[in-house]
Structure 1
Amino acid sequence: MGVFEMVIVIVLVGAATSTLSQIMKQRHEREQRLGDPEAGRLRDEVTQLKERLAVLERITVEKENSLERQIESLRER
């Protein structure tokens, strides 16, 4: 086997190894996304908590605005 053929074999082995590594990584990521029911439940819980936080923020801002208006009306008296 000459030097040229050895270089070709090394390049082919490297390319095959890289390709197989990428395929296995993608499979693992897909299994993690789809296969874990706990992850789905946690995602739903985070979504619900974000919605609740948005409501609380809106209530807080409304109360601040309302309080500000009440203070201004008292000043005007």
Structure 2
Amino acid sequence: MPLSGLIDQIIHSSENVDIVELLKHLNPKIMLGIPLLDGTNPASCFPRFTIGYEATCYSYLWSEVFAADIFVSKFQDDLL
């Protein structure tokens, strides 16, 4: 799951979330070696306030499902 989607789910399913501490905790697990720079807050530019964000976020995930389904239906015989 993209970092933005995971952050969004945690923020909206919890109360009193310290976003900076959350990012410090999640960044090493998700970004695999790319450090979070001190004094930065990537969540501050997170586009969750844009109109239609919800549809954009989840349609992106569905597009991956459809792409995988199309790939398997086309190349299933070659994969076996």
Q: Which structure carries more helix by proportion?
A: 1
Structure 1 and Structure 2 fold alike (TM over 0.5) = no
TM-score range, shorter chain: 0.3 to 0.5
Does 1 or 2 have the higher relative contact order (CA < 8 Å, sep 6+)? 2
